[in-house]
């Protein structure tokens, strides 16, 4: 395959590889080899590593000059102008416990930002895709965020950092926000949560401490679906439709997030 390739071609490649990784991961092992990452409760399994290897090997077999940024440590510079940003299992705790909703996230970026995004969650039959300027899709159908939505009618998704020292302050934020919104959900995969905000399954989403591989693909899905998404100087990522977005930001600021 030529290294000069269009976004639709990159999307076809990313989607096929995400589906292959999903097929690997749904065949759960009988036992898990669990290792800690940043803190004891931030974990990886042998399946995270196996999924990343499958994705990286498949991408480089097709596009040998591309770069790689992977959650499980794969780093490779690009000589083609394209770098792939990979989360082999977003929601490893869900995966370890046999809960649904974990996902595979694959994005391709160039000098202007994310060009292609795929978030594939096989246990809930859900795949989100986007190309820059080409719209966002859920299982092949166009999607758009909910807008306008008032804060007091908003269903908000969130997640929590693995640094235990920060969880008490996060609890205070939730306590302050909960009376102001319809309800709050914690599903276990940041990529899926952002895609839920993109398609209107959530009205908004926020989380602190996300990494590039958590948000790269899903952020393109969100923006192509008409949502606003940003990460501020406090490492807080927020996503919502244009009407709700500033009100959610303000409510979180008042809650101390």
Give the model confidence (pLDDT) of 179-205 as tens digits: 999 999 999 999 999 999 999 999 999
**Which residue blocks in the chain are alpha helix, DSSP H?**
7-25, 46-62, 92-97, 167-177, 190-199, 212-224, 244-255
State how far the Cα of 110 lies from the Cα of 134, in Å rounded to an integer.
16
The residue among 129, 48, 56, 27 whose CA lies nearest residue 92 is: 48
| pLDDT, position 257 | 63
| Helices 190-199 and 212-224: angle between axes, nearest 10 degrees | 10
110 SS3 class: strand
Q: Give 106's strand partners.
A: 86, 118
206 SS3 class: strand
Handedness of CA 136, 138, 144, 150 (dihedral sign): negative
The residue among 152, 162, 248 whose CA lies nearest residue 197 is: 248
Please give the span between the terminal C-alpha atoms of the chain, in angstroms, as a whole number.
46
CATH dotted code for 7-142? 3.30.540.10
pTM: 0.94
CATH topology agreement for domains 7-142 and 151-255: no
Judge whether 46 and 84 are in contact, CB under 8 Å: no
Class at the top of the CATH hierarchy for domain 151-255? alpha beta
Give the model confidence (pLDDT) of 90-149 as tens digits: 999 999 999 999 999 999 999 999 999 999 999 999 999 999 999 999 999 999 999 999
Give the model confidence (pLDDT) of 30-52 as tens digits: 899 989 876 666 678 999 999 99
How sure is the predictor about 2, in pLDDT bands with cuts at 50, 70 and 90?
very low
Q: Where are the domains of the chain?
A: 7-142, 151-255
| pLDDT, position 39 | 66
């Amino acid at each position: 395959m030529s290294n000069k390739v269009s976004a639709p071609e990159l999307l076809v490649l990313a989607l096929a590889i995400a589906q292959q990784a999903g097929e690997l991961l749904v065949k759960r092992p009988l036992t898990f080899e669990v290792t800690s990452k940043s803190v004891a409760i931030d974990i990886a399994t042998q399946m995270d590593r196996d999924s990343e290897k499958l994705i990286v090997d498949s991408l480089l077999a097709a596009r040998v000059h591309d770069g790689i940024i992977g959650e499980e440590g794969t780093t490779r510079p690009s000589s083609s102008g394209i770098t792939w940003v990979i989360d082999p299992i977003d929601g490893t705790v869900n995966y370890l416990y046999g809960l649904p909703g974990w996902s595979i996230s694959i994005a391709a970026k160039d000098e202007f930002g994310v060009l292609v995004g795929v978030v594939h969650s096989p246990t809930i039959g859900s795949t989100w895709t986007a190309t820059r300027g080409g719209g966002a899709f859920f299982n092949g159908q166009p999607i758009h965020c909910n807008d306008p939505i008032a804060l007091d009618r908003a269903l908000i998704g969130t997640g929590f950092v693995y640094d235990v020292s920060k969880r008490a302050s996060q609890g205070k934020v939730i306590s302050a926000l909960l009376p102001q919104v319809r309800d709050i959900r914690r599903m276990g995969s940041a990529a899926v949560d952002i895609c839920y905000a993109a398609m209107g399954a959530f009205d908004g989403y926020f989380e602190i401490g996300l990494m590039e591989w958590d948000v790269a693909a899903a952020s393109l899905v969100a923006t192509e679906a008409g949502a606003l998404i940003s990460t501020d100087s406090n490492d807080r990522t927020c996503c919502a439709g244009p009407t709700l977005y500033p009100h959610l930001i303000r409510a979180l600021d008042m809650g101390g997030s």
